[in-house]
Amino acid sequence: MDKEIEITLLPGGEKIMAAAGTRVYEVLGKAGHGDSWVAAKVDGRLVDISGTLVGDGSVEGIAKSSPEAIAILRHSAAHVMAQAVKSIFPDARVAIGPSIESGFYYDFDVARPFTQEDLEKIEARMREIVSQKLSFSRREVERGEAIAIFSAMGEKYKVELLEELNVATVSIYQQGDFIDLCRGPHIPQTGLLKAFKLTSHAGAYWRGDEHNPMLQRIYGTAFFDVESLKKYLAFLEEAQKRDHRRLGKELELFSFSDEVGAGMVIYHPKGALIRHILENFEKREHLLRGYQLVVGPTLLKADLWKKSGHFDHYRENMYFTQIDEQSYGVKPMNCLSHMLIYKSRMRSYRDLPLRYFELGTVHRHEKSGVLHGLLRVRQFTQDDAHILCAPDQLNDEIKSIIDFVGEVMSIFGFDFEIEISTRPQKSIGSDEDWDRATGALRQALEDKGLAYEVCEGEGAFYGPKIDIKLKDALDRRWQCATIQCDFTLPERFDLTYIGADGARHRPVMVHRVILGALERFLGVLIEHYAGAFPVWLAPVQATIVTVTDSQLDFARGVCRELLVRGVRAEVDARSEKLGYKIREAQMHKVPYMLVIGDKEVQSGAVAPRKRDGTQLGLMTCAEFADLVGRDCLESSKGRVGLNII
């Protein structure tokens, strides 16, 4: 007789007795809705519903509405896609195929890059596989046996992964004639994959390392119902329209060049002007809050980076050079110079807190496979600040930074979410200091009544951090602002102050950015606004177009007067038809257009037209400048008027 085991069904807690070896789906069936589960949790661990139960424990069904279910569906879709690719391209070698936030991908080693026509063929083959309702079958094998299986199949990437694993057994999944190395779980059978779409393809280095072979990656997405897929594809279409790389080119904001090097931004006049406006805005906002402007060098001796711990813990992201037989590191962050400024003289408790702010340009060695427009570059400028304060001032400083972030992000129309990232495995400092720093961040958020998620092990190597993720117009999340609490570097650099008791004490350092990298923030802004910047931030606030060349002199006079009054204006003097010039101004998303004809010349006035097509009627240049000034104040929530530059 089979051994009986006691199963607790969650979330209700109902107790069921079953024979050892009973399938998970059989137990779930006793709880009702037996056909609706995608997978299950056994003692909190995700498993296939076809798995067997061997001992007492808990079982919880994973329904289609669960976040885990959509990830399982998408990972299963990646397997189906790989099966389809192998059936069309038998010589293809498979690499890895995970689910991701927006869907899934799989990397393949193939003789040539995929085309859009290939994706259509693969998608059609996937539908055939789905219609066959193939079961996902799991089996456990010894690692050596798995190596032999995949070696015989010529799957060298799977063999490489297996050879690095330090485990006795691994799991293999099979649907139809397709076999893959996988941890699982998967949906019960391919027929559940009813709504999917292959969305794009791109090159990707094996393991993201440019020294490894270039593979071909196919992206896709999947949902449990067609309506959700349609909504996502509509979202994707809108996101593509807002892609900052496309808009950056169309609006003539920035470019990249292979002659310059990957990850290095070239700002064109309009992009440089937006950046200049942002920088001036930031300087003023920081000065109003008691920050002091500082500037540190780009190169610092390698010995200094060793002292800080960057050489041991961040070296792979840094660039180094030799000068007069001395090794120097190109700074990836600005904190070292700021500590040296603090240490340049004796400090008193009366001096604290000290807030040093620098728009510091830094360089980080990002792998070429992760570079992505403005969002991931190798040279960028951070709105970096370091606050050195007494321990009893720390709570107020962290809360004031949170307020600063909230006020600034509201100007740009962003909501945000908050995470705390804790000590990573590779780190410096004592457990006591890490506990103090993490506790300080938690306490400040709790004092503010702000909810947060905890990301275990994702802090900086020198301290825990608050990460603030912006939510844009399409409800996407972007990491920008961060607050890092650091007891360790002040210790390493022997930073002190004289307390009220006359003794030396150790300050705490808070590393923080508000916008983060200006490049990344600009990329996020372009997509958030779809290139239609608010009036205060628009590089050109008014384009002046003439009906004929006879009005050019008047138009240029209008432009000069507006520039003097602080309006960023330009004249389109090209010998093109009026309709063409109007369309050009609309394409460049200029907030105002001033059409100059004989009537405007005779009246000495302008007739503004908003970018949404609204006609405002005749007014003087002074009246129009006042109008733009009011729009600047309104769109910046009273922070910025004219003459920001």
- The CA distance from 265 to 522, in Å, is 12
Torsion of CA 547, 553, 554, 558, to 10 degrees: 110
Return the bridge partners of 175, or none: 178
**Using alpha carbons only, what angle is made at residue 472 by residues 467 and 475, rounded to the nearest 5 degrees?**
95
- Side-chain-side CA neighbours of 295 within 13 Å: the count stands at 2
Classify 355 as helix, strand or coil.
Answer: strand
Beta-carbon contacts of residue 195 (< 8 Å; ≥ 6 apart): 222, 223, 224, 225, 226, 228, 229
Active centre residues (catalytic): 335, 364, 382, 384, 386, 465, 511
From the list 405, 406, 439, the residue with the least C-alpha distance to 420 is 439
Query: What DSSP line would sit under 598-609, residue for residue?
Result: HHHHHHT-B-EE
Sheet holding 608-610, edge to edge: 569-572, 542-546, 592-596, 608-610
- Side-chain-side CA neighbours of 441 within 13 Å: the count stands at 31
CB atoms within 10 A of CB 523: 26
For residue 85, count CB atoms less than 10 angstroms from its CB and return exposed for 0-12, middle for 13-18, buried for 19 or more.
buried
